Structure 1
Amino acid sequence: MDPGFVKPEEEVKEGEDKGQGVVIPQIPGDVKLRRCGYCLVKQPMRARHCQLCQHCVRRYDHHCPWLENCVGERNHPLFIVYLSVQLVVLLWGGHVAWSGLYFEQSWEWLQHNIFLLVSFLLIFIFTIVVLLLLVSHLYLISCNTTTWEFMSHHRISYLRHSELENPFDQGIILNLWRFFCSRHLTAWENIYFHKNSEPV
């Protein structure tokens, strides 16, 4: 699905409802948005151009090679649901594979059960990978940061010049609420400039 592609018509109709249930957020008048060098649209804060999708994506997290799609502001909650369902299926598959094993110390037993052992080992490895991925994403969500921001903090201008380590963090509860329950796109510029103007 659309991860939150930045569209050129948003420049003209900024702040208007487009009839698709999406409110294009208003930004402060004195904020200058960066123009993408590839698709030439004005990038909202936290957006990034994806070379594989050939689009700028709002609140860009990463490009998932398994889904062949970007993970951004609009589909990131569904990506978490996808990882959760995948983890449940892997745990169930691991349980089924383990329950089919009756251990005996014989070469004949090993020949008959080698595929079951290999499948259990693969399921175990994939379960660990998906669990680590899910836990790391939930941690980043609770801090209101993205994988891209976490990995490239030193290269992103709005993070490098911020007085705060993470200017978008609003506390765990509000971060989780905004991530899972908000239906509208967020004007991250408002949060960024509000937080940076507060005395530290």
Structure 2
Amino acid sequence: MISEAAYTKVCTTLPSCDGEDLRRMPQVIKKWQVFPGRNKFYCDGRLMMARQTGVFYVTVVLIVGTCTLFFVFDCPYLAREISPVIPAVAGFLFLFVMSALFRTSFSDPGVIPRATTDEAADIEKQIEVPNGSSSPTFRPPPRTKEVIVGGQTVKLKYCFTCKIFRPPRASHCSLCDNCVERFDHHCPWVGNCVGKRNYRYFYIFIISLAFLCVFVFSCVITHLVFVARAEDSFLEAIKKSPASIVEGVVCFFSVWSILGLAGFHTYLTTSNQTTNEDIKGSFSSKRGQDVYNPYSKGSLLSNCASVLCSPAPPSMIDRRGVVIPESVPVVRDSYGTVKSFHAPRVPVPAGPPPLDLKVSHVAYSGPGHTGRSTLPRVATNGTTHPREGSYQNIGSHGDVTCIDHSSTLPFTTARGVNIPVAVVPPQSRYSARLGTTTKGPLPDSIDHEFGVDAGSQMSLLKQSSV
């Protein structure tokens, strides 16, 4: 028996397949494809941003276009006449700015998952008033809660869209339609919300962009001055380097707003506030002498370290998980993570002659069990007990431990074809003789993984209808 094994992997092989036996299976839907917020996803859900990306592309074009003109028309002259360090510094700043921009734009800002149907029902029960709606003293249930944070009373507001009480400092973005943890603001220039998980990258982006603008503008003016001195005319300098004028105009009108934005967010960082809190005046002295910022650490450096250097929390949304219908049996590990599920099969029409299927080996690991072996070496001997119904045994030998004795586990092939594996209760003993084969229009390889739980028994069974 391998009851102590913590992880089991069963592999089966077929000699060959001509490809015509494969039939279209139900498409696997990822959670990012049905995400309720208004977001765009890239790279199979690894990257996300807002749907309104027009201004973001303007940002990229302005930065890349201006720096390209600078590298082509100004850097060669400055490197030759002044120092070759100038192009190197400009290149470093440019790469740093673009990396910070992309990290801000394509990161999860701290989206809070919406409540499930059961969670929303529980919250509704919590906020219902004791008296019924028919009572003459009936009042709408309160949609706020009060919690104490740092000795200050903070109200938690109920979000009617996400069906949750938002955590402190969280807010619902009307553009992305998501509740965001420690919501700062929605920035169209980066094409994303700015929240707890990407604020540090946003701050680094605007600070480094301010340095880049000042550096490029200074170098452009220096270039024009040197050329004007050599030609004894500023107009001649413009004629020789018209691109420098374009760069100078873009940097001149951009640097003031960028410097102002960098200064404002430096103030917010040192006081441990968000743009949303500052605009609303949440901790303004006008609200009273007893109102103060409960999130402040007491010093500028401590606040900066808390905002910029604290570990980034993990994303709370499962973007790359698989959407599983409620009627489909699933297998979960001890943490509740879905390990496998069985999607309904599409009827398979008559095709070429079926091929043989045979279990070849079992790979496993766990306390006292590590390695890869054939079934006879890891399973005890047993007699063949065919399962009642439309199932028959296939190429296993002995008892194999599995996770759940009430579900159906699928073997999923590389091409999406599932072979159901029935799970039997612990008190039942089902096994099959090694080498027993069955017929079926199956692909050339099958490889599926599932967790195991000590104490349950499983038999590798295959539907006769396949």
| Structure 2 residue runs without a partner (length 5+) | 1-106, 120-146, 149-153, 314-466
| Equivalent in the alignment of 1:133 | 261
Q: Secondary structure at the match of 1:39?
A: coil
- The Cα of 1:81 is off from its aligned counterpart by 1.3
| Matches of 2:159 and 2:287, distance apart in 1 | 19
Instruction: Establish whether residue 8 from structure 1 lines up as the match of residue 131 from structure 2.
Output: no
CA RMSD of aligned residues (A): 3.1
| Equivalent in the alignment of 1:148 | 276
| Matches of 1:40 and 1:162, distance apart in 2 | 34
| Equivalent in the alignment of 2:61 | none
Instruction: Establish whether residue 176 from structure 1 lines up as the match of residue 271 from structure 2.
Output: no
Q: Secondary structure at the match of 1:66?
A: coil
| Matches of 2:156 and 2:255, distance apart in 1 | 41
1:67-106 counterparts in 2 under 5 A? 67-101=190-224, 102-103=227-228, 104-105=232-233
| Equivalent in the alignment of 1:166 | 293
| Matches of 2:304 and 2:295, distance apart in 1 | 12
| Equivalent in the alignment of 1:190 | none
Instruction: Establish whether residue 48 from structure 1 lines up as the match of residue 154 from structure 2.
Output: no
| Equivalent in the alignment of 1:191 | none
| Structure 1 residue runs without a partner (length 5+) | 13-26, 186-200
Q: Percent identity?
A: 31
Q: Secondary structure at the match of 1:183?
A: coil
Cα 1:162/1:65, change in 2 over 3 Å: farther
- The Cα of 1:105 is off from its aligned counterpart by 3.9
| Matches of 2:169 and 2:270, distance apart in 1 | 17
**C-alpha contact 1:6 1:41 (8 A) present in aligned 2:** no
**C-alpha contact 1:3 1:72 (8 A) present in aligned 2:** yes
Amino acid at match of 2:297: Q
| Matches of 2:159 and 2:295, distance apart in 1 | 22
Q: Cα deviations across residues 13-47 of structure 1 (Å, max 9, x unaligned)?
A: xxxxxxxxxxxxxx87xx87422122222200111
- The Cα of 1:76 is off from its aligned counterpart by 0.3
Aligned length: 167
- The Cα of 1:135 is off from its aligned counterpart by 1.4
TM-score by length of 1: 0.70
| Matches of 2:312 and 2:288, distance apart in 1 | 27
Cα 1:106/1:75, change in 2 over 3 Å: closer
Q: Secondary structure at the match of 2:111?
A: coil
| Matches of 1:140 and 1:94, distance apart in 2 | 27
Q: Secondary structure at the match of 2:293?
A: coil
Amino acid at match of 1:50: C
Return the index of the structure with the highest Cα Rg.
2
| Matches of 2:235 and 2:301, distance apart in 1 | 55
- The Cα of 1:92 is off from its aligned counterpart by 3.1
More helix by share: 1
Instruction: Establish whether residue 38 from structure 1 lines up as the match of residue 161 from structure 2.
Output: yes
- The Cα of 1:79 is off from its aligned counterpart by 0.6
Amino acid at match of 1:6: I
| Matches of 2:161 and 2:234, distance apart in 1 | 63
Q: Secondary structure at the match of 2:203?
A: helix
More strand by share: 2
